Structure 1
Amino acid sequence: MIRQFIFIVLFLLTASAAFAQDELSGRVYENKTNVFLQGVKVEDLKTHTMTMTGKDGSFTIKAAVGDVICFSVFSYKPDTVYVANLKYMQVFLDLRQNMLDEVKVTNQEIKGNAGFAPQVERGPLNSQSVTYQTDANGDYKGGVKLRVFDGGPTQKQREKAVNDKEKQKQGILKIFNADYLKKYLPITGQEMQNFIILYMPDPGTFYGETFNLVAYLNGCYEEFQKIPLEDRQSKEYTQLKSSN
């Protein structure tokens, strides 16, 4: 009887040890830049347990020695790591081929970009009140527009506020255009234009301290893929959205 009891206890201990899993923690970075990567899927390929990295790139997942962990996120090459021990892990992911490094957007002045309108927008006779009309890409489309400023001691401040807003818009357009985003997104043509129209961020979001371009594009593209392909590639789709 005692032998049977001991055998059962040993069997239970052995079985529990065999199936026991500890926690594996670590952090995921972009290779070369050491930028924290948020929203990376972390999956144990043996147990199919999954989690996502936080804002600081950190993660914790149930795992055991001998498991294989896969790290994957949109626009980066996936990586798999064999768990040789449960020490704190640092993982570095490479951008896919032909993609640029993650851009940290700041609210500082952008200089020397000939593809966009001047930072201080002026029109005929070097006027800031009467300026040339431009399209969404900052290109001249014909005609002029009139800016009306109230007289008084705050006129210069109001002019500066308008000009600062224009600078911010140009900063956003420097990133959110088809030529730049094609290095991050596998879409072109009308589908790319629809993406830009739907997901171009406002200045408050774009210049926020926590804004991360890769994480933002990743989230937006996942939402964009939920739209039927025919609609995503239709010129009428965004026109209907704008009219609603």
Structure 2
Amino acid sequence: MFRWGFVLIFSLLASFAYAQQHTQEGIVYENKTHVALAGINIENLNGKFKTQTDKQGRFIIQAKMSDMLVFNGFGYKADTVVVTDLHAREFYLDPLQHMLNEVEINGKGAANSAAFFVPKDPQFHNQTMNYQRDVDRPGASGAIKGGINLRVWSNKKTENDAKKKELEAKNDKITAQIQQAFSKESIEKYVPLKDQELHSFVMRYSPDIETFTSEDFNLALYINKCYKEFVKLPAEERLKTSIFGN
């Protein structure tokens, strides 16, 4: 009897030790900002094990040497890591929004900003530079003929107008990022909402520019917070697209 009890205890200890030696622990951070990321999905491609980071960005998943772990979260570039040791370690993900800098929104839709870039000369109060063209003779082709046209005068109104346009262009870019990150197609992947409720959620909780660009803004945490608030609303309120009515 004692012998079988000893064997059972030894087997349990061996199983526990095996489990302890075959797990990967870690914390997932946003690259550069070092903000811990909650709600990041981790999958072991070799064993098909899955888990998710907690509020402090921590996780633990079954893994062994040479396994491949895939990290994927809303608003972040997916990353694949090969397990080279089973010590607790840190992992870093890059935000997707950094890839949207070339998109500019104007009155006619989205366009590549590089195609409309107008060079400026900082020595002349950031006035725009117009290249001289072949336009002042019969049969002129309109091609650039060398040299630039510069206005050599400036005043505060001109500078203020230029700063205002730059601010508007910057806000247009940020608005484009918000619209992409908070589109219905993106949000429905992370919250169990459909149709009118999904539309209402997007309309209610799309962040404004100030919120979206704040240093402590984390899109995954923001969506999670908004969803918890949304499900507490009465059913009829969840179908409204505005807090002021339907």
The TM-score bracket by the shorter chain reads 0.3 to 0.5
With normalisation by structure 1, the TM-score equals 0.43
Give the greater-gyration-radius structure (CA).
2
Normalised TM-score (structure 2): 0.43
